[in-house]
Amino acid sequence: MSTTQDTGADPVGDGTFKMHPSGDIVTRDERDKRLQESSARRSPKNDCLGLSWDQIERMQGGKLRRDNGAPLKKLLGPSA
């Protein structure tokens, strides 16, 4: 069994699942357990700002738009 914390799974076709990113083949119960543990973890921080993406979106006042970094530039100011 891998120590990698899995974040997703694909069905293999025989009732088992291949976990991602570990690649372990597991039963449905084990898959559910690992994905539950995965969702219970803290949200990751953005390396540049030290904030989660949810925190950045709240500061901006809505969902981040994916338009060449304009929302991030708005958040950081004209020097970005």
Over its C-alpha atoms, the chain yields an Rg (Å, rounded) of 18
**What are the sequence ranges of the domains in the chain?**
8-40, 43-80
What tokens does 43 get?
């949200």
Q: What is the pTM of this model?
A: 0.47
* pLDDT band (50, 70, 90) for residue 23: very high
User: 61: pLDDT confidence band, cut at 50, 70 and 90?
Assistant: confident
Cis peptide before 11 (omega within 30 of 0): no
pLDDT at 67 over 60: no
Q: Give pLDDT, residue 27.
A: 95
Structure letter (DSSP) for residue 23: -
pLDDT average, residue stretch 11-32 = 93
Confidence of residue 59 (pLDDT cuts 50, 70, 90): confident
CA distances to 41, 43, 64, 65, 79 from 69, rounded to whole Å, are 27, 21, 9, 8, 13
Structure tokens at 58: 């709240």
